[in-house]
Amino acid sequence: LALFFFYLAFMLLAVLNIITGVFVDNAVETARTQRDWMVQKEMELREKYVSEMRMIFRELDDDGSGTMTLSELQAGLKEPRMQSYFLACGLDLDDTARLFSLIDDDDSGEVDIDEFLEGCLRLKGGARSIDVHQLIIECRKIEHTLTDL
């Protein structure tokens, strides 16, 4: 009789272990699928953002030269629709000249489509911790350079 109860308890634990394994496996698979879905959605959002910014660049390029100047940007951002779109994309419009200078990587006074897209993607949203850390490192390098003088 004691052997029967031991057998029953052992089988019950085995069955519960199998059931638990099925649930855990199901949860892991769901998490993996969800992560893949999130990555795919993020890529789709980025692609949509880039295509919309291309359209905006074409609208801001008044003369059709393929480049945008500060005056073209300022003129385009006087339209409420453009202001709303830039704000919705997380780009601050308080200082248009500063925004343009941050996008204009080569300081040419003109921004082509690639500079515009790269700059907007870089400036979209708030500062990330990696951005702040990079600024701290650059400030330390400048400080060391100045103290060596």
pLDDT for 127 = 66
> Is the pTM above the cut of 0.85?
no
Instruction: Spell out the per-residue pLDDT of the chain, length 149, in tens.
Output: 889 999 999 999 999 999 999 999 999 888 888 888 899 998 998 898 888 888 888 888 888 888 898 888 888 888 888 888 778 777 767 777 888 888 888 888 899 888 888 888 877 766 677 778 788 889 999 999 998 87
Sign of CA dihedral 148, 106, 92, 117: negative
Q: What angle do CA 83, 84, 88 make, to 5 degrees?
A: 120
d(CA 109, CA 86): 20
Strands 67-69, 110-112: pairing kind: antiparallel
Which one, of 106, 116, 123, lies nearest residue 57 by Cα? Answer: 116
Q: How far is C-alpha 86 from the geometric centre of its chain's CA atoms?
A: 15
